[in-house]
A and B are shown apart, each in its own frame.
Chain A
Amino acid sequence: MIPRLFTARRYVLSILAWVGVWVGVATVSVVVGGKLWTWDSPAQLRNVLALRLEWVATAGVVGAALALAGLAFQALLRNPLADPYVLGVSGGAGLGFILASLFLSSLLAPAFGFLGALVTVGLVYAIAQRRGRLEPYTLLLTGVVANVFYGAAIMLVTALARPAERGDIALWMMGNIGAFGPQWVLIGVMAALVAAVGVLYAFLAKGFNLVAAGEETAGSLGVRVGRLRMTTFVSASLLTGAAVALAGPIGFVGLIVPHGLRIVLGPDHRRLVPASVFLGATFLVLADLAACLWEGASDRSLPVGVLTAMCGGPFFVYLLRTRWRRAAEVQ
């Protein structure tokens, strides 16, 4: 019996393969989405290329961030159905973003969205911690409370806003790529964040596996469970907050990508971490391409969050009819 060991060679090869996939998909998206062959003048072509590159880059980093954060939250909360928004960070980011674009400037809004996320991290920690430690169950409950609160706050702001603003807010809440001013600097910061956290999780992946097998077991195998939980909580929340500040609360990427990968690749987080980063990026780039093509064909705009949400339903139906039913039959 030759086992499928987790070796360095396989790891590097798989990462290279993923990079290749992403570059291929991104290139297709830039070329096809921008219909690069249809432009007359070089000035136009340059503008379109810059625009497409910017949006594909945004979709890539946001998709990667959401998928990675989703994976981390699923590990942290010991719940394979957790998504990055379950702890209320997206609500905080959303409120910060909306308030800033209403009362300050829409160009500062992403920064304030991130600030809102930071504040939420602090609040959730303060409420959920017991003697400095985080337990999955109390975290989850605190997140529910946070989401309820932020949902109410955002509803209040929307109700009090002028009718023209309401449309803007509603559209932002669906999740959009490329709805804002030029943002290469933001994309760069986001990419650095994704890279840093991705590398961090590559080192924490072993710990994720062991904690899934049991907290005491993990402790006996050398994992500092409390520290792991804290680090995961903070880093995943930062990723989520940044993603929401940049593109709004795009749904389902953070849930579908890690969950789907777990079905295909198994529960080993050492494989799931790099796969989530790249599949998340690829998934959102493809969704953005689909939205772009739809907009070109139908002359109406389609927020990318709508597409990802529409993928969620069929995905769960598929899960229900295959894996879950099998699990229920076994019992």
Chain B
Amino acid sequence: MAQSSRSPMTETLHRADGPYLDVRDLTFAYAGGPPVLRGLSVGVGRGRFVALLGPNGSGKTTLLRIVLRLLAPSAGEVRLAGVPLQRYPAGALARRLAYVPQGTTSVLAFTVLETVLMGRSPHTGALGFESAADWHAAREALRLTDTERFAERNLEDLSGGERQRVLIARALAQEPELVLLDEPTSFLDIKHQHAIHRLLRRLVGERGLTVLCVSHDLNLAGAYADDVVLISEGRVAAAGSPVQVLSADRLEAVYETPVRVRLDEATGRPYVLPMPEE
């Protein structure tokens, strides 16, 4: 359900209690470069599966990094649960917000279990002692992602899809309220792409998790997301339900390529096809 406010170009998606993740007028440029975000505003409601779409260079990953506090915006602010992001101590933020990167860059051979237990570090205290509660949370995360059987194996020995599931398990072990994912299924086959999206859908539905997923895959977003935010040139081009946002003319304007959009009769969800060669 979309409502307009502030300006025609920005729409907030929220429930009555205000957006959980509230991004306002973010402006950012990498050192010496052109602005990547130009006054971007978006709101993510609690318990929603939100897909963040947009062409390469539109600012999706930059937005994620700002929310993760890896970058500082030159203007604008971000609020999480009503509190400005800077006010959160590092550990407190990590207990609310989890991140699933696109693949791993580890140089050390951690096992799957060790990796998932790392997700417990915001909860394990200064010296990092692990308790039974940590073990249960990790185990639950492994169970949800169907990775229990890999627990003692090295992360590097797994396939791409299995590894991605482990990274999601790590994020779940954090027991967060919001999960940020950066193209979690880019390198996966169709079976795993859908398995992961189904898992995210289930977690949103059963546990009230909030998911913000950056993606290049318009169809997966269209099939599984509650809300879609389309970003173009550092601003929100459109925000709303998949049917509302994924229209042919809007997509053509943003992606600069001709497309057709069809609706799936069974689910009522849109899917996007490239225009055939004339």
Q: Do A and B share a direct contact in the complex (Cβ within 8 angstroms)? A: yes
Chain A residues positioned under 8 Å from B117 (CB to CB): 5
Bound complex: CA A223 to CA B70 (Å): 11
- On whether A213 and B104 interact (CB within 8 A), knowing A5-B135, A220-B68, the answer reads yes
Measured as residues with beta carbon below 8 angstroms from the partner, the interface class of chain A is 20 to 34
Within 8 A of B (CB), among A201-246: 202-203, 205-206, 209-210, 212-214, 216-217, 219-224
Bound complex: CA A3 to CA B93 (Å): 28
Bound complex: CA A50 to CA B97 (Å): 58
User: Which residue of B has the minimal Cβ distance to A79?
Assistant: B107
- Tell me the minimal C-beta distance from A30 to chain B in angstroms: 33
- On whether A210 and B121 interact (CB within 8 A), knowing A220-B94, A270-B127, the answer reads yes
In the complex, the answer to whether A219 meets B70 with C-beta atoms within 8 Å is yes
- Tell me the minimal C-beta distance from B103 to chain A in angstroms: 9
In the complex, the answer to whether A270 meets B128 with C-beta atoms within 8 Å is yes
A1 interfacial by beta-carbon distance below 8 Å: yes
- Tell me the minimal C-beta distance from B275 to chain A in angstroms: 37
B185 interfacial by beta-carbon distance below 8 Å: no
- Tell me the minimal C-beta distance from B47 to chain A in angstroms: 21
In the complex, the answer to whether B110 meets A213 with C-beta atoms within 8 Å is yes
Chain B residues positioned under 8 Å from A47 (CB to CB): none
Bound complex: CA A220 to CA B174 (Å): 10
Bound complex: CA A79 to CA B131 (Å): 30
Bound complex: CA A221 to CA B176 (Å): 11
Bound complex: CA A212 to CA B122 (Å): 16
Bound complex: CA A281 to CA B69 (Å): 40
User: Which residue of A has the minimal Cβ distance to B113?
Assistant: A3
Scoring B residues 253 to 274 as 1 if CB is less than 8 Å from chain A, else 0, what string do you get? 0000000000000000000000
In the complex, the answer to whether A221 meets B119 with C-beta atoms within 8 Å is yes
Bound complex: CA A6 to CA B68 (Å): 28
In the complex, the answer to whether A222 meets B122 with C-beta atoms within 8 Å is yes
Chain A residues positioned under 8 Å from B111 (CB to CB): 266
In the complex, the answer to whether A267 meets B110 with C-beta atoms within 8 Å is yes
User: Which residue of A has the minimal Cβ distance to B180?
Assistant: A220
Bound complex: CA A275 to CA B115 (Å): 21
User: Which residue of A has the minimal Cβ distance to B89?
Assistant: A222
Bound complex: CA A78 to CA B105 (Å): 11
Chain A residues positioned under 8 Å from B124 (CB to CB): 206
A298 interfacial by beta-carbon distance below 8 Å: no
- On whether A216 and B122 interact (CB within 8 A), knowing A78-B107, A221-B174, the answer reads no
Chain A residues positioned under 8 Å from B31 (CB to CB): 131
Bound complex: CA A71 to CA B109 (Å): 16
In the complex, the answer to whether A5 meets B108 with C-beta atoms within 8 Å is no
Bound complex: CA A206 to CA B127 (Å): 7
A11 interfacial by beta-carbon distance below 8 Å: yes
Chain A residues positioned under 8 Å from B97 (CB to CB): 220
In the complex, the answer to whether A219 meets B129 with C-beta atoms within 8 Å is no
Chain B residues positioned under 8 Å from A267 (CB to CB): 108-110, 114
Chain A residues positioned under 8 Å from B69 (CB to CB): 219
In the complex, the answer to whether B128 meets A205 with C-beta atoms within 8 Å is yes
User: Which residue of A has the minimal Cβ distance to B90?
Assistant: A222
Bound complex: CA A8 to CA B65 (Å): 35
Chain A residues positioned under 8 Å from B160 (CB to CB): none
A38 interfacial by beta-carbon distance below 8 Å: no
In the complex, the answer to whether B70 meets A206 with C-beta atoms within 8 Å is no
A135 interfacial by beta-carbon distance below 8 Å: no
In the complex, the answer to whether A7 meets B94 with C-beta atoms within 8 Å is no
In the complex, the answer to whether B121 meets A206 with C-beta atoms within 8 Å is yes
B106 interfacial by beta-carbon distance below 8 Å: yes
Chain B residues positioned under 8 Å from A11 (CB to CB): 127, 129
In the complex, the answer to whether A221 meets B122 with C-beta atoms within 8 Å is yes
Bound complex: CA A242 to CA B90 (Å): 33
Q: Select A80's contact among B101, B108, B114, beta carbons within 8 Å.
A: B108
User: Which residue of B has the minimal Cβ distance to A4?
Assistant: B113
Bound complex: CA A205 to CA B93 (Å): 20
In the complex, the answer to whether A202 meets B110 with C-beta atoms within 8 Å is no
Scoring A residues 265 to 278 as 1 if CB is less than 8 Å from chain B, else 0, what string do you get? 01110100000000
- Tell me the minimal C-beta distance from B242 to chain A in angstroms: 27
In the complex, the answer to whether A217 meets B108 with C-beta atoms within 8 Å is no
- On whether A5 and B151 interact (CB within 8 A), knowing A212-B106, A214-B101, the answer reads no
Bound complex: CA A262 to CA B69 (Å): 32
Binding site for A on B (CB under 8 A): 31, 65, 68-70, 90-91, 93-95, 97-99, 101, 104-111, 113-115, 117-119, 121-122, 124, 126-131, 134-135, 151-152, 174, 180
7 contacts between A and B (CB under 8 A): A79-B107, A203-B126, A209-B118, A212-B107, A213-B106, A222-B95, A266-B109
Binding site for B on A (CB under 8 A): 1, 3, 5-8, 11, 78-80, 131, 202-203, 205-206, 209-210, 212-214, 216-217, 219-224, 262, 266-268, 270
| Besides A5-B135, A131-B31, A216-B99, 4 other A-B contacts (C-beta < 8 A) | A11-B129, A210-B121, A213-B104, A216-B101
